[in-house]
């Protein structure tokens, strides 16, 4: 397995493209697909003091070469390369790292010699990174994220099999053109739909309402449905270094307008509200958001419920208030889309609603 400039920090990242150490089966059977694993940290690279400790551990301390070394079967699936992009607990994921990651993926996939990319990530914000990449990767080659709920040091660690399955999915021709995928616990999910649904179970990712795209097991990959909304090559979004300031507020019993007013005073460009039910909003917060919208702040109504969708002009009069409905995107993914839309120059509720209805 060839390491592409493995290092523990982003700053020291070496993006050498040497592939001399790649095992080759040239001359005998067709070459296996060439897959690059980009490691960012997370529990999949986590270690605890004992094998029975699955909650008190440090995320992102094991290097990518070690992650690959414990799964010898990888070399039967693909010609492997790896790079350490970062070593973070994904609770600390930040936009500059998203820029670095997306740009690196785009550079790698522009290389004719590379067939796909796997990203190892923490589970906490995986759904946000996956959706960001789904909208900004400019290639139809497979990009597959995976992670683990148990640290690498744990009894029955789930990372090694998740990694093997992710590489198996990335190496499949049928994974091309499906947008960014998440392979986790034998299921394959679309980046748009997938969410983390458990704080501890190894079956921690689901696509509420719509279900997984397919499954992977013992080297077999099967897709059972396709991805309908545009992604990757078909979007208007490009990854850049500038991220419009967008925050999320929550509506709940007794909530005040203090948080919204403070965000507006801080100069935010957009606010996503995690509303109750069908994106309904407590009267005090709704008034604060209407005031914000009248000052040019983009306001998007999502729901804190976890499944379903928010109907435009359903629980709130979006047309009159100047709000946008997030549809079936949860608040965290709605924030990703709003940042990209604002960065692309979209302004006003009509243009923004069109973007939310499209992606
Ligand atoms: N806090 C960890 C992370 O997101 C959790 C995990 O990976 O499961 O990096």
Task: Record the tokens describing residue 26, joined without a space.
Answer: 């040239």
* Parts of the chain belonging to CATH 3.40.50.40: 246-358
Select from 215, 216, 237 the least CA-distant residue to 224: 215
Rounded Cα–Cα distance for residues 161 and 153 (Å): 14
- Per-residue pLDDT tens digits of the chain, which is 359 residues long: 555 543 333 333 333 333 334 444 555 678 999 999 999 999 999 999 999 999 999 999 999 999 999 999 999 999 999 999 999 999 999 999 999 999 999 999 999 999 999 999 999 999 999 999 999 999 999 999 999 999 999 999 999 999 999 999 999 999 999 999 999 999 999 999 999 999 999 999 999 989 999 999 999 999 999 999 999 999 999 999 999 999 999 999 999 999 999 999 999 999 999 999 999 999 999 999 999 999 999 999 999 999 999 999 999 999 999 999 999 999 999 999 999 999 999 999 999 999 999 99
Helix (H, G, I), strand (E, B) or coil at 190: strand
Q: What's the 356 CA to ligand 1 centre distance in angstroms?
A: 28
> Does 124 contact ligand 1 (Cβ within 6 A)?
yes
> Does 128 contact ligand 1 (Cβ within 6 A)?
no
pLDDT of residue 30: 85
Report the DSSP pairing between strands 116-120 and 34-41.
parallel
| CATH architecture classification, 246-358 | 3-Layer(aba) Sandwich (3.40)
Hey, which CATH number is domain 19-234, 3.90.870.40, 3.40.50.880, 3.20.20.70, 3.40.50.1170? Answer: 3.40.50.1170
DSSP 252-310: -TT--SHHHHHHHHHT-SEEEEEEBTTTB--HHHHHHHHHHHHTT-EEEEEESSSSS-B
Please state the pTM of the whole predicted model.
0.93
pLDDT of residue 4: 57
> Does 122 contact ligand 1 (Cβ within 6 A)?
yes
> Does 133 contact ligand 1 (Cβ within 6 A)?
no
Task: Record the tokens describing residue 319, joined without a space.
Answer: 């047309």
Q: What's the 311 CA to ligand 1 centre distance in angstroms?
A: 32
Report the DSSP pairing between strands 195-196 and 205-206.
antiparallel
* Parts of the chain belonging to CATH 3.40.50.1170: 19-234
- Any idea which residues carry the catalytic annotation? 43
For ligand 1, atom 7, name the residue with the nearest CA.
122
Rounded Cα–Cα distance for residues 359 and 357 (Å): 6
Select from 39, 42, 146 the least CA-distant residue to 100: 39
Rounded Cα–Cα distance for residues 275 and 251 (Å): 5
Q: What region, left, alpha or beta, does residue 344 occupy, with left being phi > 0 and alpha being psi -120 to 50 degrees?
A: alpha
pLDDT of residue 29: 73
Q: Which are the contacts of 232, defined by CB distance < 8 A and separation ≥ 6? A: 134, 135, 137, 138, 139, 140, 179, 180
């Amino acid at each position: 397995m060839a390491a592409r400039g493995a290092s523990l920090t982003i700053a020291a990242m070496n993006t050498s493209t040497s592939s001399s150490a790649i095992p080759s089966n040239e001359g005998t059977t067709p070459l296996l697909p060439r897959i690059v694993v980009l490691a960012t940290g997370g529990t999949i690279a986590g270690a605890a003091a004992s094998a029975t400790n699955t909650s008190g551990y440090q995320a992102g301390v094991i290097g990518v070469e070690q992650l690959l070394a414990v799964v010898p079967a990888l070399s039967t699936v693909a010609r492997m390369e790896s790079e350490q992009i970062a070593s973070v607990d994904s609770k600390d994921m930040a936009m500059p790292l998203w820029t670095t990651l997306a740009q690196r993926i785009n550079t790698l996939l522009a290389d004719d010699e590379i067939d796909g990319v796997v990203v190892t990530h923490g589970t906490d914000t995986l759904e946000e990174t996956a959706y960001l990449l789904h909208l900004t990767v400019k290639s139809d080659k497979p990009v597959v994220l995976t992670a683990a709920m148990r640290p690498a040091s744990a009894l029955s660690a789930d990372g090694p099999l998740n990694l093997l399955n992710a590489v198996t999915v990335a190496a499949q021709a049928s994974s091309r053109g499906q947008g960014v995928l998440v392979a986790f616990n034998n299921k394959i999910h679309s980046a748009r739909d997938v969410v983390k649904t458990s704080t501890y179970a190894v079956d921690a990712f689901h696509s509420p309402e719509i279900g997984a795209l397919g499954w992977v097991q013992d080297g077999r990959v099967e897709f059972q449905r396709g991805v309908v909304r545009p992604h990757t090559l078909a979007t208007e979004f490009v990854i850049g270094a500038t991220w419009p300031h967008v925050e999320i507020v929550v509506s709940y019993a007794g909530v005040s307008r203090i948080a919204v007013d403070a965000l507006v005073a801080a100069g935010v460009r957009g606010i996503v509200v995690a509303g109750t039910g069908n994106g309904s909003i407590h009267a005090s917060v709704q008034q604060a958001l209407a005031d914000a919208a009248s000052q040019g702040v983009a306001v998007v109504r999502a729901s804190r419920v976890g499944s379903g969708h928010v109907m435009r002009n359903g629980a709130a009069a979006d047309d009159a208030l100047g709000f946008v409905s997030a549809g079936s995107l949860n608040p965290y993914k709605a924030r990703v889309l709003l940042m990209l839309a604002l960065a692309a120059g979209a302004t006003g509720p009509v243009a923004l609603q069109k973007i939310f209805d499209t992606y």
